[in-house]
Amino acid sequence: MTIVDRFTLESLFKSPGYAQQCTSVFGATRTHPFGEGRYIHAISILSGLSKPRLEAVAAHEFAHAWLNENLAPSRKAALAREALEGFCELIAYDLMQERSYEVEKSSIKENPYTAGQLHAFVAAESLNGFNAVLDWVKAGEAAKLDADDPDGVRAVREAELAKTSAASDSGGLPVYYSHVASARCQTS
């Protein structure tokens, strides 16, 4: 993990064909798989953040590292970008709740960045528990959760769930650049 300035962080997203969706980026994760289920994660976090924001951004980015190691490539490709980001924001939100950081928790909830997926994840977790959410992320039948149907988190492919630990070997997959898969950001 590296603390970086805004210029360095924003330069991570300057690649051909990439349209930045955040007006203010706080963190980024790049995962480099190198076979046999082993990875190197490079997490960059913006300098000068308050302690609660730093903790929330770190939790979000560590969640991306976890996703990059634990999702089968087919599941990662099938999940909607906002669902990936919604799950990572759920991790940050839960940490803020545990630490009683109400201002940061409100900031996470009010941010439209996940297009409603954070609210769907929070509702699903509240009704079904975190493990059900985790199972859905690994092997859910849908690309994203429906906030009006928190029980939809129970729709998982059991066979896929059983083999998720073996499916994390990415072989020769390219580096995952994470705003498509990561970046804790705030939209205006």
pLDDT tens for each residue of 81-140: 999 999 999 999 999 999 999 999 999 999 888 999 999 999 999 999 999 999 999 999
Phi, psi of 173 (to 5 degrees): -65, 150
Q: How would residue 184 be classed by pLDDT, with cut points 50, 70 and 90? A: low
CA distance linking residue 89 with residue 125, whole number of Å: 13
Beta strands in 6-144 (DSSP E): 24-25, 27-33, 39-46
Residue 131 in tokens: 């493990």
Number of domains forming the structure of the chain: 1
Residue 131, domain extent = 2-186
Contacts of 188 (CB under 8 A, 6+ apart): 23, 24
